[in-house]
Amino acid sequence: NGNTSCSFTKERIQLLNNIGFEWSLASCETWDVRYEELVSYVKKFGNARVPRSFAENPSLGNWVNNQRTIYKKFQNGNTSCSFTKERIQLLNNIGF
């Protein structure tokens, strides 16, 4: 909003990013929805290899592709991504 009296500094923002702070509640809700869709996909198809252009649910295909990209960045030390160890564990639990 352009308010220069805000107490958020770039350093504080980076610290929050470093611990995986979710800036948008909608982002968390979307992740949870897509995760549940992935769980259903795994139950139906027996694996988590959702095609990027999955006709039944194109959003799921894109989300899975994005999760793999974000995971690679996370593994390479990119702490600005919103991936958490908890999310990694959830994905690993279903054979991602």
Question: How confident is the model at residue 64, as a pLDDT?
Answer: 94
Q: Which pLDDT belongs to residue 60? A: 94
The model carries a pTM of 0.68
CA distance 36 to 31: 9
pLDDT tens per residue, range 34-73? 999 999 999 999 999 999 999 999 999 999 998 998 888 8
Q: Which two tokens stand for residue 34?
A: 């897509």
Q: Are 60 and 41 in contact (CB under 8 A)?
A: yes
Residue 28: how many other CB atoms lie within 10 Å: 12
What's the token pair of residue 23?
């800036």
